[in-house]
Structure formats: structure tokens, C-alpha cells
Structure 1
Amino acid sequence: MAAQPEATFSTRQRTVIVRPRDEEEAIQSSNGQHLHAVNMKSPTKSENSHMSMHLPDKKELVHLWDRFTRKGKRKIGVVESLRAIFYSSWLNIFLLLIIPAWVSRFRHFSPTVTFTLTFLTIIPLERLFDYGGEQLAHYLGIELGDLIIITLNNTVEATLAIILLKKCELVILKSTIVGVVILHLLLVPGTAFVTGGARIIEQDLHPHLTELNHSLLTLGVLSLMVPAAFFAAIDGGFVPTTSGAVNPVVNDEIRGMFLKMSRGVAILLLCVYICSRIYLHNPPGDDNALSLHLAADAPEAFKHEATHLQETDPEVNQWVCLVMLATCIALMAATAEFMVESIEFVRESGHIQVEWFGLILLPMVSFAADGTVASAFFVQYLFRHFFREPTPPTTLAKGRAIDLSIQFTLFWMPFFVLLGWWIGKPMTLLFDLFEVCVLIGACFIVNYVTADSKTNWAEGVAMVSFYIMIALCSWFYTGQTEVNFMSQCGTVAAAIAKAATGSSEA
């Protein structure tokens, strides 16, 4: 009998060859395992459709540039975009205070007036950051959109940290870094879990994202534990000499060693963070073009969010959105600096410990604008719930603040170390032991609460309570003297001599 011709079917990623029945054979894979025999008859229409279910269709794989430019879709006009930005929130009315706030600073008005005006000015800028990030998510996808939103939400804290680094306030800077991280690990998500879980037994987190966040958060915290443990291990207290007792580890040579270690660790942390973003944007596998939010085990709320971004049109043109965000960042950088300068009088007049000022007060001030926005929307939600039709409870837990902490430890903190290296500031990853311990505790409770990818309001109360415990104890903490000397600009010997001179004069 004559041999039947082979039928070849081409797909997006591979070519499937269908052989005749009399040439049926088992195909051996490269690892020695045997695959099933391929059916020799030509596949029917239903069989072809079954094969295509496992292979991403070309129409589903929208190139990033095509999506960003909205190829084949309606373009949003400039006038329409400006109108949408203007009406995006009633908080935009506070943008009128930008000029009075700047005048107050340059005319040297009362620090209280300057702080109030700058604080009210930052509120609408924070809201525009959120709105702009949400709009860009339509053009870039949910993963890159989330990354932009997280980065923009960290803008105020990052600006504050850069100002402190420029002024060489390294002790306060390190306390502020830890304070920002524990604020976004405990207080912010804890409050969200309490309010979000008040009317539902539990809320969901994405299991894949939660598992990855556990590893990234733990790594970021341990990157501070290792230098602190190293310093504690080599600190022998004192050694007797003919000129008296001195500490053998508080000197410029040891600090130089920590500078080298910190810069190496900073580069590694940045590499880990970049790899994690690549993984989230383009996960491996045959369905790597599909979002993790559309995975089979993803909560329905995440699938709905990803589908909503694909099917709905944005309100703002992508180029207008980028210009708006760039303008807001420039205004935010200057206004945040003015706000930080105006808050200095609180520390000086209130005799507040440096640790509490950096660990609690500055992070709260930097987040206060965003917190005010959240509070305003929460009041609006309560009004709608009690006086209008109640909103059904959502099953999606608000855990984006945890992503903010991860970015701050894996990206911004090593960035500050490398920036300090560039501008000649001795920024190291040697942090106060008390700060490292509370950070490890915060990491532990967050990972424990989110281990099952579910949350409830009782766990939110526990997180908020632990933050209050830290704030209470840090009020009485004066700081680790050895680490404070290692965090001074200039030479360590000069800082010790200056402190000794000041003590003798006192």
C-alpha cells in the first residue's frame, strides 16, 4: 500500500507533524522519557482548537510598544486628557497653595505656616501620582503599572532620604529608612486589613506574589542584620592601653571596611530587585506572555482587575500622563524639601530623641499626605455606606504597601549607599541594632500573617499594635553610640574628639 503523505500544521511556537497510521511511533525525548504516539489521522477542527488552547495566540500577545501606543485603538485627545486630570479628584483644589507655600519658605514665614502649606500642597500631588500610575497601567500592563505606582508612592520618602543624605544627616537617614519600611509593613497594611476585613471573614492575596514577597522582604531585612551582627562580633568592648581604654572597632579603618561591604551588598540587592521585576513581567513557561494575575490559581479579584485593564479605555493620553507625572515629581521634590526644613523646629523645641524623630515622626510626616488622601476616601466610603447604597465588601486585600517596603529595602536603600559613594558621603548598611531588631520583628509578623495568602481584621489589629509598641519603646531610646560615631561625616576620630571636647566643656 502506498505511503500516505505527512500532514504538517504550523503554530505560533512550534510545528506539529501528523504521521500516517502505519508509521505511528513513540517519540523519545532528550531526557530519555517516551512520549505518546502521535495520531496519524488529520486533526479535526475541534482538535486544532484544542491544540491552540495551550499555545498563546498571536492576537493575545500584544507587543509592549503596540500596547503603549494603543495600536488599532482609539487615541485619547490632549484636551480630553487635561479635563480628566482636572476632574480626577476634588483634592486638586489644594494645588492652588503651591505658590503661597513657596512664598512662605523664601520669605521665611513661621515654620508652622510653611509646614502647613507644604503639607497641604503635597496631598494633591500624592493623589495625582496614584491617578497617573493607574492610567499608565492601561498602556503598560498591570505588572509595569504596579511598579510605576509603587515607585511614585515612594517618591516623597525617597526625596526626604536624599535630602538627609545631601545634608549628611546619616543617623537620622538610617532611622528614617527603617521607619519608612516598618510604617509600610505594619501600620499601613494593618489598617487596610482592619477596614477591608470589617465586613468579610477573610480577604485574598495573590499566592504567587505573596511567596515572592516573602523571599524578597526577608532578604532585604537580612542584608541589614549581617553588618550589624558582624559589628557586634568584632566589638570587644575595650582594650587596655597606656593612655586608657579605647574601643578598638570605632575608627576610620573599620568604617572603610563597612563602606566596601555595603557597596558590594548594595549592588547585589539591586540585581535581585531587577531580576524580581523581570520575573513578574515575563514569567517563564509556555504561557509566559500571560499575566500572573490571570494564572489559574489567582484570586478572581486579580483576574477581574487584569481583564478590566485590557478591556477598558484610559482617561488620559499616555504622553500627557508622562508630562504630568514629571511635573508633579519636580514640584514634589522641592516642596518636600521645604516641608522637611520646616519640621526641624519640632525636634529642636520639643526635645525629641533623634531615634524617635527619624524612626517615627519623619516617616509619618512623609506619609501623612498619602494617609490624608486615604482617610478622605474612607470617609467618603462611610458616607456612601450609611446614607446611600452600601458598597459590597471586596475580597481583595490591599497589600500594595508591603511592595513599597520591598522596593525601599531592595532598591532605594542600596541606591542611597551608591549615591553616597558618588557624592562622598559615608553611607553604610551598618544600622543601629535596635532598628535592625524591630525590622526583623516586622518582617516576621508580616510574613506570618500573609503566609496563607489570606488576611482578616484581627491580624490587621495585631500588625497595628506591634507598630505602636515600636513607637512607644523608641520614644525612650537614645541610640547606639558606636554606630552613631560610625555614621558621622568627616573622620571618625574627629567626631570622637569633638564629642569628648563637648563633654569636657559641659
Structure 2
Amino acid sequence: MNEKAPSTNTATATAVSPSSSREGMVRNPSRGNTTRNGDLEAGVNGAEHDGDVPHEHHRRHHMPHLIEDSAIPRAKDFVARFKGEGRRVPGWAESCKNALTHSWLNAFVIFIPFSWAAHWAHWHYSIVFAFSFLAIIPLEKLSDYGGEQMALYLGASLGDFLVITLDNVVEATLAIILLTHCELKLLQSTIVGVILLHLLLVPGMAFLTGGARIWEQHLKPHPTQLNHSLLTFGVLSLLLPLAFFTALPESLPNQTTGAPSSAVVLKRLVARAAEEGGHGKDVAIQEALMRSVETLAVRDATRGTFLKFSRGLAILLLIAYIGSRIYLHNPPGDENSLKPAPNAPAAEKHEEEKLEREEPQISPWFGIVLLTITVALIAVTAEWLVSSFEPVRDQHKISAEWFGIILLPLLSYAADGCIAILYFVRAALFFHPDSPDELAKARSIDLSIQFVLFWMPLVVLIGWWTHREMSLLFDLWEVAVLIGACFLVNYVTADAKTNWVEGMVMVLFYVMIALVAWFYDGQPEVHEMLRCGPVSETLALVAATLNGTSSEGGGEAGAHAARLF
């Protein structure tokens, strides 16, 4: 009852306030009713008043003036809120102090200069990787803090969009750096890992910890229903290239006349290399190469086809995401992104009222500077991290699939994971402490949707502009796991209610995926299709290496090609 009272009062005040031209439009019967039902309801009301068509024509004639008049107070409200009018806005010194002392994880900033020094001084790769990993934790936390504070000046809807984008900044930076380094297979595994992390582990931990002492938790029903469609749409878009690739024939037809194809020649070379004593770990490489050279799909022409329609699919994914953001943040009707919808649940209205009452800890301009510096430091530190993890991966015998699907995405969850561990320690020692705000976030599913509908297609388009062969052809096992995760998340959130058992199931499914990924080496055909350079060149180098006729340089190239398989 206490939570509903302020929401009801606010909704009533909004409906009867004469200070806005939007409310004036609703009370003026000559202009029709401008509710969320749009022209249909307005036309019905006009027919009730006059019963003729000219009135409807007159209403449509004046509609541009109504939109123009309503846009002015919207812009003024946004500017006034961004300036912090009616609130105490901290100064620059106070803002800096609050930003540096808001979390104990800021103590990890000491690793930032160590990370840079380790890179420039050419320390051991493991040290560079460890320092860079630890340095990104406080930067990611500062980015979250800046986004949460800027949400106080932007409102709940626009603030959520900013926070979601900033929460993805670490993974997006890693994706772009991997693209520039031409680590395309690792890039795809990281994309899958980021989506799985925000679909399963992060919301699962939130549901598990947040619902431990209550019967069930509620989600916002309207965004949740839209998320089901967007998530399914994004995941199914990855199924199309894979189905196309799987449907291709496995051998060239009509090879009985003329010279044998290059695939047949390479197949003979590998068979002869195996007969001459290729045993042990080379057997797996030979078998993988045998499958690749006899597959019609693994060709430069086929890869060119996949690149063409992958770029088209990427553009369509971006259109879908932009359209969904317009619908969510600027919905049809009178309301806009600065205020909750009139039919919003009480919890959502209470959240908006809390944002309006809460005093910001930093000024808006300091927040912009903080986010700019933080994102720049994340980009540079992530560059050092990427440059060091390949030797670390080879030294510790970590598969590329597990490295990309599990380890790299955990960078973004390291800060929240530390807070979760601290929360459980406090719960064990002090009994039922207040849960930190980070554990109650339900926007992690929005992060995965943004990554699959915005960042993933954007990376494909950047690869097109930078001449990188990045396509939407993903590994079969990765796509199957994504579809399974999508099904589980949609089923758990179908009724817009969750509990701790459903959170536990989501976390356990993520652990299952991590366990299987440790033993999975990936599809060799997809590995080869994602190589920067001609496909035929790699196959020839590997065949020459296995045949024992390559030079020292060819041996290095063959070793590199062997790692692809």
C-alpha cells in the first residue's frame, strides 16, 4: 500500500496538470483524443461528436501543429532535467571524490599503470594478461557508476539505454580489437560467450540472490514480452547461414574426367603422409584436414557468398534493433521517454519517482568526462589484454572455444561477481544484510539483445569496411547452445515472474555449457572459413607440411594452419 500511494498520486497529477500542452490536447474535444490507440480512437471520438468525415479531415489537418506544440515542452523538460534543475548538483571536486570512493573495487586502479608498464617493458605474457585483466575491473565499475548517475539526469528509459550500452563497452571493445587482429574464430566464440553470460549467468545470479527470501520476483511485462521476440529473432538469424552451409554438397560432382581437383590432390597428400607415420596428435589434424579438403563448402567462392548475405543480414539486424529502441524509448501517443507509461506497473512508476527524488553524486558534465576517459582507458587496456592472451592460451593448453565462450566474457562480470561473493560472505557472517543494487539488476537480458542485434552486426560491417572476412557463419555447437539458452530464458520469463529456483537452473545450465566447452575444439570447416586470407592457401600449406616438402617458413604457416583445426 505504501508503494502504490505515491505512484497513484503521480499518475493523477500528470493527468490533470494544465502546465503541459499534451494535457490540453486531451481535454479539447474538437481535436480528438490523442491516446496510445492513435487515429482509430481519435476517429471514433470525432464521429461521436460530429458524426461526419470533414471533422476527421480537420483534425488530421491540424495534427502537425499538435506534434510541434507537444515537442517543445518535451525538449524543455529534457534540458531542465539534464541540467539538474530542482536538485543539488555537486561540483567538480565533490564529483571526483564521490566517483573515486563509491566502491572498494576502485582500489584496483593501481593495476592500470602496472598493466601498461608490463606491456611496454615486455614482461612475461602471463603477467601482462593478469594485470590487464585486473585493471579492467575498476574501469568497468566506473563505467557502470557513471551510467547509473547519468540516468538520474536522463530518466529511467533513456538512462537504462545508456547503462546497457556502457555495460557492453568492454565486450564491444574486445570484439573490435579481435577483429583488427584478425582473430575471427575467437571473436565469434567471444560473441557467443557474451550472449550466454548475459542470458544465463548474470540474470540467473540475480534471480538466485534476489529471490532467496521472497516467494517470487516480478519483471516489467511490456519490455519482457518484446525481449522474447527480439531475442528469438536475433538467435534465429544465426541459424540461416548455418543451415545454408550444412545444406551444401560434400563433394564435387562429375570428377571422373580431366585433371583431379585440388581437393582430391590434397586428400591424396594427406593420406600418404598418414601412411608414412603420422600418428599421435597429428592424426586429429589429418582427419580434420581430410574433412575440409573433401568439402565443397570450404572454398573461397563459397566464403564470398557467405560474406555477401551476412552483410545484408547485419543491416537487417541493425534496422530491427533501431526500430525496437524507438518503440521503447519514444512510444506512440502522449508519453515519452522522460515519464513512465500510464499503464505501467506500480514498481516501474516507483523506480521513476526514485530517480526524480534521488540526489546525484556527480554533475552531468563531470559524468560525460568520466565516461569518455573510462572508455578510452578500457580500449587501450583491452588492447594489451588481447596482445597477451594467445601465448597464455597456448602455454596453458586452453582451447579457443573455452577461452572465447567462458573466460573473456567473464571480464565484464568480474566486478559484479566480486560483489556477489562479498554479499554471500556478509550473509554468512552478519545474517541477512541489505542486498547491493548490482544484484537486483534485471537488464542483463537487454544487454544480450543489444549485443546480438547491434554490436554483432556492427562488427560484421566494420569487417567489411576493413577487409576482414567476418561473416555470420557460426559453429554448429555454438548456435545450438544459443538456441537452447534462448528457449530456457524465454520459458523462465514468460510469465514476467521469477524465483530463486529458476535462477539456479539458469546458472547450472551455464555451468553445463562451460563444462562441455572445455572439451570442444570446434568445427574445422568453420575455422577455415574464418581465416584472413585465401582458403586454398591454408589447405595447400597444411598438405605440404604433412607431406614433408615445406620449407621453414612453410612449416610455420603449416603450424598456424594446424592451430585452426
Q: Structure 2-normalised TM-score?
A: 0.76
Shift of 1:235: 3.5
1:147-296 pair list within 5 angstroms: 147-239=161-253, 241-242=255-256, 243=260, 245=264, 246-288=294-336, 291-292=339-340, 295-296=342-343
Structure 1 392/37 Cα, relative in aligned 2: closer, same or farther at 3 Å?
farther
Q: Is the 1:239–1:247 Cα contact (8 Å) retained in structure 2?
A: no
Q: Which residue of 2 aligns with 1:500?
A: 543
Check if 1:13 corresponds to 2:61: no
Which residue of structure 2 lines up, in the alignment, with residue 22 of structure 1? none
Change (3 A) 1:309 1:297: closer
SS in 2 for 1:424: coil
- Partner of 2:28: helix, strand, or coil? strand
Residue 211 of structure 1: CA displacement? 0.6
Change (3 A) 1:157 1:458: same
Deviation at 1:164, TM superposition (A): 1.1
Superposition pairs of residues 53-452 of structure 1, within 5 angstroms:
63-71=77-85, 73-239=87-253, 241-242=255-256, 243=260, 245=264, 246-288=294-336, 291-292=339-340, 295-298=342-345, 300-364=346-410, 366-375=411-420, 377-379=422-424, 382=427, 386-387=429-430, 390-391=433-434, 398-452=441-495
Give the deviation of 1:320 after TM superposition: 0.8
Gaps of 5+ in 1: 1-8, 19-27, 39-55
Contact 1:127 1:373 in 2 (8 A): no
8 Å contact from structure 1 (residues 176, 362) kept in 2: yes
Contact 1:281/1:291 (<8 A) preserved: no
The 3 A distance-change label for structure 1 pair 334 and 17 is: closer
Report what 2:268 is aligned to.
Answer: none
SS of the equivalent of 1:225 reads: helix
Change (3 A) 1:357 1:94: closer
Say if 1:73 and 1:357 are closer, same or farther in 2 by CA, change over 3 A: closer
Q: Which residue identity is paired with 2:305?
A: M
CA 1:486–1:57: 2 relative to 1, 3 Å: closer
Q: Which of 507, 515, 522 does residue 464 from structure 1 map onto?
A: 507
More divergent stretch after superposition (371-380 vs 246-255): 371-380
1:487 lines up with 2:518 in the alignment:
no
Please tell me whether the aligned partners of residues 150 and 367 of structure 2 are also in contact (alpha carbons under 8 angstroms): yes
Structure 1, 242-251 or 88-97: larger mean CA deviation: 242-251
Whether the 8 Å contact between 1:123 and 1:372 is mirrored in structure 2 is no
- Match in the other structure for 1:474: 517
- Is the contact between residue 218 and residue 443 of structure 1 (CA under 8 Å) also seen in structure 2? yes
Contact conserved, 1:196 with 1:393, CA < 8 A, in 2?
A: no
Say if 1:238 and 1:457 are closer, same or farther in 2 by CA, change over 3 A: farther
CA distance in structure 2 between the partners assigned to 1:397 and 1:206 by the alignment:
13
Task: Return closer, same or farther for 1:327/1:257 CA change in 2, 3 Å cut-off.
Answer: same
- 2:165·2:447 contact (CA, 8 Å) conserved in 1? yes
Report how far residue 420 of structure 1 moved: 0.4
The answer (yes or no) to whether the contact 2:126–2:392 under 8 Å persists in 1 is no
Q: Distance in 2 between matches of 1:451 and 1:266?
A: 28
Amino acid paired to 1:152: L
Q: State whether residues 203 and 397 of structure 1, in contact with CA within 8 Å, keep that contact through their aligned partners in structure 2.
A: no
The answer on whether the counterparts of 1:204 and 1:397 sit within 8 Å (CA) in structure 2 is no
Structure 1 residues 35, 389: CA separation in 2 closer, same or farther (over 3 Å shift)? Answer: same
- For the aligned residue pairs, the C-alpha RMSD in angstroms reads 3.0
**Cα offset, 1:313, TM superposition:** 2.5
Give distance in 1, aligned partners of 2:81 and 2:295: 61
Of 452-461 and 66-75, more deviation after overlay is shown by: 66-75
2:343 maps to a residue whose letter is A
Deviation per CA, 1:220-279: give whole Å up to 9, x if none.
Answer: 101101111111122345545242654322211111111111111111111111111111
**CA–CA distance in structure 1, aligned partners of residues 236 and 172 of structure 2:** 21
- The separation in 2 between residues aligned to 1:118 and 1:456, in whole angstroms, is 36
Query: Whole-Å Cα distance in 2 between the matches of residues 235 and 211 of structure 1?
Result: 40
**For residue 551 of structure 2, what is the aligned residue in structure 1?**
none
What are the Cα deviations for residues 319-358 of structure 1, in whole angstroms up to 9, with x where unaligned? 1111111111111111122223333233212223222222
> Please, which runs of 5 or more residues in structure 2 have no aligned partner?
1-17, 31-40, 52-69, 265-293, 549-557, 559-565
- Aligned twin of 1:51: none
Q: What is the TM-score with the length of structure 1 in the denominator?
A: 0.84
Residue of structure 2 in register with 1:35 after alignment: 48
Structure 2 distance, partners of 1:360, 1:313, is 38
Moved more, 9-18 or 423-432: 9-18
1:205 and 1:29 map into 2 onto residues whose CA distance is: 32
* Distance change >3 Å, CA 368–CA 35, structure 1 → 2: closer
